[in-house]
Amino acid sequence: MTVREATAGDVAAIATIHVDAWRAAYRGQMPDAYLDSLSVEERAKIWTSALARPAPAKLVVTDPVTAFCFYGPSRDGEDGVAEIFALYVAPAAWRQGAGRLLCERALHDARERECAAVTLWTLKANDAARRFYERLGYAPDGAERSSARLTGFPLHEMRYRKALTSSGTEP
C-alpha cells in the first residue's frame, strides 16, 4: 500500500469511504436518521472543493483507494501547527495500516514545513478513534468544542496534539 495525492478521479471513492466510515464508526454516537441520510453525491461535492484548495492543504489517498486524509495548516489560528482535518478508512479496510500510513504522511509533510505540532479533532465519544490516535503518540491537549453547525445536533469534540521538536522530529 502506498500514499499519493488525490485526483479528481478519486472523488467518488473518497465520498463513498467518507459516508461508509461515518455510518460504521458513528452509529450509536449520532442519530441513525442522520447517518442514513448521508449522501455520497453531497460528499463528492465537498471533496471536489477540497481538491481545489491551494497548497499547503493536501488531500491524499492510499493506493489502492481504501482510505484518505485531508490536512494542512491549523484552523485554530496557531502559527506553525498543522492539522489533520479528516482521516477515514473504508470499514472493510480497518486495522490494516492505512490510517497509520496516512497519519505518517501528514506528519512527514508537517516536518517538511517545520511545524511545531500536528493537531486533530475527534468526537469525544469515539473511543476507538481516541485509542488509535493515542497509539500513534497523540494526546488530548485540553481543548474541547461543541457545535451543531454541520449536523443540526451537537457534536462534542476534543483536540489531540502531537508535538514535533524544533528540528521537525518527534520529541
* pLDDT attached to residue 53: 83
Question: Mean pLDDT of all residues in the chain?
Answer: 93
* For range 129-146, the mean pLDDT: 97
CA dist 163 and 81 (Å) reads 9
* For range 77-104, the mean pLDDT: 97
* pLDDT attached to residue 56: 83
CA dist 143 and 35 (Å) reads 26
Helix (H) or strand (E) segment spanning residue 167 = none
C-beta contacts of 128-136 below 8 A and 24+ residues apart: 128/25, 129/25, 130/158, 130/160, 132/99, 133/160, 134/160, 136/100, 136/103, 136/162
Local confidence band at 168 (pLDDT 50, 70, 90 cut-offs): very low
* For range 127-133, the mean pLDDT: 97
Say if residue 149's pLDDT is above 90.
no
**pTM metric for this prediction:** 0.92
The burial of 60, by beta-carbon neighbours within 10 Å (0-12 exposed, 13-18 middle, 19 or more buried), is given as buried
Say if residue 80's pLDDT is above 70.
yes
Contact of 165 with 111, CB cutoff 8 Å: no
* Percent of the chain scoring above 90 in pLDDT: 86
* For range 119-128, the mean pLDDT: 96
What is the identity of the amino acid at 158?
M
Give the β-pairing of 117-123 and 81-89: parallel
Q: Which tens digit of pLDDT belongs to each residue from 38-54?
A: 999 999 999 999 998 88
* For range 142-150, the mean pLDDT: 89
Omega of the bond prior to 154 within 30 degrees of 0, cis? no
* pLDDT attached to residue 69: 98
Say if residue 170's pLDDT is above 70.
no
